């Protein structure tokens, strides 16, 4: 009986044909049967494979065990090489500190592979869910971006520096004081990396590579992967706000700005979640349910700040430089401001609300002085309606300023933007037709008054800009740089304006432009000296390996001051020419930096009446 029972146990394995056909192999169980039922029915020879051991020993003596040992050895060598060379780890895991690093908290590597994503690595990802920056762990560093590595202790310091020195002047992406570096790293890794690269010390080569890596990352995730995340919008807004946009909007910043506008539209941040109207809301919700779409959830305060930050940068570039179109739905901007003012989540929201309301007035200025004739380069006269529009907008600006808290009125960022908006308010009068050409001498008197107000606004702007503390001068946000550029260009056009409604000699005596520019260039030099002493703890922006951004500003302003002094003193004719001695390289006091490009020359040297062909970059608008 024991022998009879052993036969079916030995036939537990399926035959070769049943195994290949993935069918159940059925045996009759009678002693002596050598074929299964399926093979008997198909008249095949039933072949049963030899039975192997049920368990497989995977010790060092087996082939699999040997391969596992080799893989472990390779990974150990890779980890050791990482400790010595600080090669980047995975984007989702902190990296190990190098015992040979001269700066244990911040490391800036060499050239970066900007085409590679953060997740491209041969080292297995390390779980960071149990990491604590307050405890001593073997993994207490994080790769911010390829080539830039910081410890979490240093990241905490940089995050605090961002909260105290950067975010108050551009309060659209605040970080709550209770949010630590490790928590931000886990929840919003790309935003964490963007903030740290804005603040962390790094050399010129790393800054260039980081900028290229940032654009490659955004292109991959937004354009290729079609990702729509608030974190991406916040990162782009911060990158543009604190980027190296020196005297006018650069084309790379314009491209990023268009991606930010697209994200605002895709995320639905430019309009309220539920639009009031004649269609009942439940009908819209039912239609979305039938189409398989999710119901729109209310916008958070974080969503509103990101939208307002994009609107702020977009409208500044569109109004002052005319590079990009404006964002639509300005009415929702007011709704967001009211919600932030009511919530009072951060102290910086007060500045944010007042700056955005001032920006809405700037949008009104653009709407009031954007006629089809002026867009086509046709000079219009200074009509009574233009004077009324200027008077009404000026009254609204004064009302807004009086309603703001005292600390906001005296805040240098608000003062600079306020005076810059005043310059933009009166600046269209420069390009309007003179009364001697139109024959309307009443409009000539009104235009002369507007030109005088523009000159006073420029003087007040330069005074406010000169009052910016030296430390803050080294990391001004994009809107402040934009107003400064616009005021410099408007001043040169106003001082060289020659028509019957304007006395250029009196204007030059009222506004000592060369002296003002020289004073501002000296402040840039002092600010650059200050940034050298702070280079160990914060980012010092570089143009190239040998020159910082503040040094470039200093050289440009010195050249502008020398050039304007030479031109203003060269001739008193209606069309002043540049003194040929000013272009003599033997005069050491005259600086001519090579990076003053054709846009600047066309904006300053050519026809001072508005002409679209002479103003391709829209510097004056």
List pLDDT tens digits, range 392-429.
999 999 999 999 999 999 999 999 999 999 999 999 99
Same domain (yes/no): 373, 245: no
CA dihedral 203, 209, 212, 217 (to 10 degrees): -110
Token representation of residue 384 = 């009574």
Same domain (yes/no): 31, 102: no
123-127, 275-279, 300-304: the lowest-pLDDT one = 123-127
Same domain (yes/no): 32, 165: no
Q: Quick check: is 80 in a domain?
A: no
Residue 108's pLDDT band, with cuts at 50, 70 and 90, is low
Q: How far apart are CA 385 and CA 40, in angstroms?
A: 104
Contact of 581 with 275, CB cutoff 8 Å = no
Average pLDDT, the chain: 75
Same domain (yes/no): 107, 236: yes
Residue 620's pLDDT band, with cuts at 50, 70 and 90, is very low
Greater pLDDT, 21 or 567? 567
Q: Quick check: is 609 in a domain?
A: yes
Query: CB neighbours of 124 closer than 8 A, spacing ≥ 6?
Result: 75
Predicted pLDDT at 2: 45
Out of 215, 239, 266, a domain closes at 266
Count of residues in the chain: 621
Predicted pLDDT at 312: 95
Out of 266, 297, 320, a domain closes at 266
Predicted pLDDT at 45: 81
Give percent of the chain with pLDDT exceeding 70: 65
Give the total number of structural domains in the chain.
Answer: 3
Q: What is the pLDDT of residues 558-587, one digit of tens each?
A: 988 888 888 877 644 444 443 434 333 333
Predicted pLDDT at 543: 85
Predicted pLDDT at 142: 77
Greater pLDDT, 28 or 356? 356
Same domain (yes/no): 550, 425: yes
pLDDT at 69 > cutoff 80:
no
Q: Could you list the residue range(s) of the whole structural domain that residue 561 is in?
A: 346-614
Which residue has tokens 């309009």?
271
Q: Quick check: is 211 in a domain?
A: yes
Hey, which of 312-326, 521-535, 554-568 has the most confident mean pLDDT?
Answer: 521-535
> Residue 306 CA to chain centroid, in angstroms?
11
Predicted pLDDT at 331: 82
Q: Quick check: is 293 in a domain?
A: no
Q: Quick check: is 47 in a domain?
A: no
Q: Quick check: is 252 in a domain?
A: yes
pLDDT at 102 > cutoff 70:
no
Same domain (yes/no): 108, 178: yes
Predicted pLDDT at 348: 94
Predicted pLDDT at 82: 53
Q: Quick check: is 334 in a domain?
A: no
Same domain (yes/no): 230, 351: no
pLDDT at 368 > cutoff 50:
yes
381-390, 458-467, 523-532: the lowest-pLDDT one = 381-390
Q: What is the pLDDT of residues 34-53, one digit of tens each?
A: 788 888 887 788 887 765 54
pLDDT at 119 > cutoff 50:
no
Same domain (yes/no): 426, 563: yes
Out of 225, 249, 266, a domain closes at 266
Same domain (yes/no): 235, 361: no
Q: Quick check: is 62 in a domain?
A: no
Q: How far apart are CA 79 and CA 92, in angstroms?
A: 16
Give percent of the chain with pLDDT exceeding 90: 38
Contact of 69 with 111, CB cutoff 8 Å = no
Same domain (yes/no): 233, 381: no
Predicted pLDDT at 175: 95
Same domain (yes/no): 392, 254: no
User: Which backbone phi and psi does 544 adopt, to 5 degrees?
Assistant: -145, -170
Same domain (yes/no): 236, 380: no
Greater pLDDT, 618 or 360? 360
């Amino acid at each position: 009986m024991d022998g009879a029972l052993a036969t079916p146990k030995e036939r537990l394995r399926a035959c070769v044909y049943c195994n290949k056909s993935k069918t159940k192999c059925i045996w009759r169980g009678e002693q002596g049967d050598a074929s299964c039922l399926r093979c008997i029915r198909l008249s095949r020879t039933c072949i049963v494979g030899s039975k192997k051991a049920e368990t497989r020993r995977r010790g060092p003596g087996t082939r699999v065990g040997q391969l596992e040992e080799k893989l472990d050895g390779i990974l150990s060598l890779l980890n050791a090489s990482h400790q010595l060379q600080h090669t980047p780890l995975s984007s989702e895991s902190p990296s190990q500190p190098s015992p040979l690093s001269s700066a244990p908290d911040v490391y800036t590597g060499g050239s970066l592979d900007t085409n590679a994503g953060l997740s491209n690595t041969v080292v297995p990802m390390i779980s960071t869910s149990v990491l604590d920056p307050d405890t001593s762990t073997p993994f207490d560093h994080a790769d911010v971006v390829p080539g830039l590595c910081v410890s979490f202790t240093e990241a905490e310091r940089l995050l605090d520096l961002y909260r105290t020195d950067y975010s108050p002047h551009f309060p659209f992406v605040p970080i709550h004081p209770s949010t630590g570096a490790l928590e931000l790293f886990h929840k919003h890794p790309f935003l964490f990396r963007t903030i740290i690269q804005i603040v962390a010390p790094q050399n010129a080569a790393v800054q260039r590579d980081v900028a290229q890596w940032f654009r490659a990352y955004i292109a991959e995730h937004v354009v290729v992967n079609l990702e729509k995340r608030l974190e991406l919008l916040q990162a782009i807004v911060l990158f543009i706000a604190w980027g190296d946009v020196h005297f006018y909007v650069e084309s790379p910043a314009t491209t990023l700005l268009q991606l930010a506008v697209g994200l605002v539209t895709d995320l639905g941040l430019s309009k309220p979640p539920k639009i009031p109207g004649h269609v009942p809301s439940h009908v819209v919700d039912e239609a979305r349910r039938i189409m398989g779409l999710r119901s729109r959830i209310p916008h958070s305060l974080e969503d509103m700040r990101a939208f307002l930050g994009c609107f702020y940068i977009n409208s500044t570039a569109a109004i002052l430089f005319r590079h990009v179109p404006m964002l639509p739905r300005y009415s929702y901007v007011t709704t967001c401001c009211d919600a932030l003012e009511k919530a009072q989540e951060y102290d910086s929201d007060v500045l944010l609300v007042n700056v955005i309301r001032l920006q809405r007035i700037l949008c009104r200025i653009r709407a009031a002085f954007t006629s089809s004739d002026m867009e086509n380069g046709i000079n219009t006269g200074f009509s009574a309606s233009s004077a009324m529009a200027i008077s009404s907008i000026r009254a609204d600006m004064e009302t807004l300023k009086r309603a703001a808290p005292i600390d906001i009125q005296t805040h240098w960022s608000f003062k600079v933007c306020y005076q810059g908006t005043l310059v933009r308010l009166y600046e269209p009068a420069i390009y309007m037709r003179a009364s001697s050409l139109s024959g309307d001498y009443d409009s000539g008197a009104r235009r002369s008054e507007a030109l005088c107000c523009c000159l006073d606004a420029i003087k007040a702007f330069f005074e406010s800009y000169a009052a910016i503390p030296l430390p803050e001068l080294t990391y001004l946000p994009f809107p402040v740089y934009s107003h400064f550029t616009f005021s410099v260009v408007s001043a040169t056009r106003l001082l060289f304006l020659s028509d019957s409604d304007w006395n250029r000699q009196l204007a030059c005596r009222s506004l000592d432009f060369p002296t003002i520019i020289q004073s501002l260039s000296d402040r840039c030099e002092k600010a650059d000296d200050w940034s050298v002493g702070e280079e160990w703890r914060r980012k010092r922006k570089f143009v190239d390996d040998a020159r910082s951004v503040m040094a470039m500003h200093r050289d440009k302003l010195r050249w502008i001051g020398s050039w304007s002094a030479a031109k203003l003193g060269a001739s008193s004719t209606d069309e002043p020419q540049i003194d040929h001695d000013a272009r003599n390289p033997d005069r050491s006091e005259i600086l001519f930096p090579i990076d003053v490009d054709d846009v600047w020359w066309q904006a300053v040297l050519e026809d001072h009446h508005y002409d679209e062909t002479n103003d391709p970059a829209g510097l004056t608008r």
